[in-house]
Amino acid sequence: MNAQTLIIILLVVAVVFGLGVVVVSRRRSMSSSSSSSSSVGTAMPEIRTAPPRIEPPVLAPVPEPIVVEPVVEPAPEQIVVEPLVEERTPSFRERMGKAAAAMAGVLGGVRSRQGIGNDTWDDLEEALLRADVGIGVTTALLDGLRERVKSKAIQTPDELIAALAADMTARLHGADRSLRFDESLASAGRVNVWLFVGVNGVGKTTTIGKVAAQQMAGGRSVILAAGDTFRAAAAEQLGTWADRSGAELVRGAEGGDPSSVIYDGVQRANAKGVALVLGDTAGRLQNKSNLIEELRKVRRVASKDPGEVTEVLLVIDATTGQNGLAQAREFTEAAGVTGVVLTKLDGSAKGGIVFAIETELGLPVKLVGLGETIADLVQFDPNEFVGALLDVA
């Protein structure tokens, strides 16, 4: 081998060796980089990557609710349709229910018997007395009927009750029950005065209100004079009735002279061309003799020109029964009573007091109160009254 060949061999060896070194070093660097990513506890600082933060989902803003205001339509005006059927006023008989009921049981017993015997007379007497007809009138009525039963003019219980009703009605007939309004006074420019008297609480002021309403409805203008100066509330009460009825009110000071209030009423009526004054009076004073004296004076003063007292109405509460009779006597004597208003007959079982008033005092019952409202005052009608009391047609 020559030197040339030796040099070539040495070069080849050197090149192969060099390539080998390069390949080995490359392999080493590749394996170290792959092991560093998996090994723990190497000198390399641990790079902890923070876990990805889970941001709360961004919620889309809730849209504000759209409040739709309801469209409020104005309520249509209420049209009150009045019923076509007229309001029915209860009849006299219906409103006298209590008085009728008191007798109904007894009369039913009389009717149910075969004939007319002692029990019949006892029952009738008891029923009439209980209704406050009074012993005098009851005895007179039954004595007359006994005669007719004896003479066989009356034979059955039904005939007996019918005859009793006829006799009772006959006793009440013939009285003048109209309210006295003197037209000639009115046309002479003077004033009719109606006074209302009676003990306290019987219904004087209420009756004045009802009478005023009836007179106004009939086309007659009215002035109410508050002659009860004993209580301040009395004038106010009368004022309420003046408003209800459309009448005018004349009042004085509390504790003032009742006569002068009535007199002022007459003067006012005269000045305004009003033909009628309704005068209220006190039902109670310090004592009874004062009251009676007061009424005498009221009557005297009210009759001074241009006034004229044409009616003095004694108001009696039907529920007081025979007590009302004693009162009536006193007032009649003092105030010259011309007629009676029997109030509260709607709540009384003692309507029979009418007979005692008319027979024993000779006073006509002119008006009857059947309730507390303005329409609850009717003219007294004997047929209706007895029919309702005995429950006969």
Ligand X SMILES: Nc1nc2c(ncn2[C@@H]2O[C@H](COP(=O)(O)OP(=O)(O)OP(=O)(O)O)[C@@H](O)[C@H]2O)c(=O)[nH]1
* Ordered alpha helix ranges (H), the chain: 3-36, 92-95, 97-112, 118-130, 135-150, 157-172, 183-187, 204-217, 232-245, 258-272, 288-302, 323-335, 353-356, 382-390
Q: Which stretch binds ligand X (CB under 6 A): 89-97, 178-186, 195-203, 385-393?
A: 195-203
With H, G, I as helix, E, B as strand and everything else as coil, classify residue 76: coil
With tokens 């009735």, the residue in question is: 241
User: Does 344 participate in binding ligand X (rule CB under 6 A)?
Assistant: yes
344 binds, among ligand X, Mg ion, none (CB under 5 to 8 A by kind): ligand X
200 binds, among Mg ion, ligand X, none (CB under 5 to 8 A by kind): ligand X
x-or-dash string of contact with ligand X, 217-256, rule CB under 6 A:
-----------x-----x----------------------
Q: Are 93 and 384 in contact (CB under 8 A)?
A: yes
190 binds, among Mg ion, ligand X, none (CB under 5 to 8 A by kind): none
372 binds, among ligand X, Mg ion, none (CB under 5 to 8 A by kind): ligand X
C-beta neighbour count of 177 within 10 angstroms: 15
Q: Which CB contacts under 8 angstroms, 24+ apart, belong to 67-74? A: none
Whose Cβ is closer to Mg ion: residue 103's or residue 234's?
Answer: 234
Strands 222-225, 276-279: parallel, antiparallel or unpaired by DSSP?
parallel
Candidate residues 346, 351, 357, 385; the one interacting with ligand X per rule CB under 6 A: 346
Measure the CA–CA gap between 26 and 22, rounded to whole angstroms.
6
Whose Cβ is closer to Mg ion: residue 95's or residue 204's?
Answer: 204
> Residue 343 Cβ, how far from ligand X at the closest point, in Å?
4
User: Does 358 participate in binding ligand X (rule CB under 6 A)?
Assistant: no
Of residues 339-358, which lie at the interface with Mg ion (CB under 5 A)?
none
Q: Which stretch binds ligand X (CB under 6 A): 73-81, 262-270, 325-333, 368-376?
A: 368-376
> Residue 209 Cβ, how far from ligand X at the closest point, in Å?
8
> Residue 176 Cβ, how far from ligand X at the closest point, in Å?
22
Q: Which CB contacts under 8 angstroms, 24+ apart, belong to 264-273? A: 264/225, 265/193, 265/223, 265/224, 265/225, 266/191, 266/193, 266/225, 266/302, 266/304, 266/306, 266/307, 267/306, 268/223, 269/191, 269/223, 270/189, 270/190, 270/191, 270/306, 270/307, 272/223, 272/248, 273/221
> Residue 367 Cβ, how far from ligand X at the closest point, in Å?
10
Strands 276-279, 307-317: parallel, antiparallel or unpaired by DSSP?
unpaired
Count residues contacting ligand X (CB under 6 A)? Answer: 20
Q: Which stretch binds Mg ion (CB under 5 A): 39-47, 205-213, 242-250, 324-332?
A: 205-213
Whose Cβ is closer to ligand X: residue 163's or residue 378's?
Answer: 378
Candidate residues 258, 307, 347, 351; the one interacting with ligand X per rule CB under 6 A: 347
User: Does 294 participate in binding ligand X (rule CB under 6 A)?
Assistant: no
Candidate residues 157, 369, 382, 387; the one interacting with ligand X per rule CB under 6 A: 369
> Residue 261 Cβ, how far from Mg ion at the closest point, in Å?
13
C-beta neighbour count of 64 within 10 angstroms: 6
299 binds, among Mg ion, ligand X, none (CB under 5 to 8 A by kind): none
Q: At what angle do helices 118-130 and 97-112 cross, to 10 degrees?
A: 180
- Kindly list the distances between the CA atom of residue 148 and the CA atoms of 22, 143, 155, 160, 303, in Å, as whole numbers in the listed order: 168, 9, 9, 9, 50
Candidate residues 371, 384, 391, 392; the one interacting with ligand X per rule CB under 6 A: 371
User: Does 205 participate in binding Mg ion (rule CB under 5 A)?
Assistant: yes
Measure the CA–CA gap between 186 and 238, rounded to whole angstroms.
24
Residues of the shown chain interacting with Mg ion in the complex, contacts defined by CB under 5 A: 204-205
Residues of the shown chain interacting with ligand X in the complex, contacts defined by CB under 6 A: 198, 200-206, 228, 234, 283, 343-344, 346-347, 369-372, 376
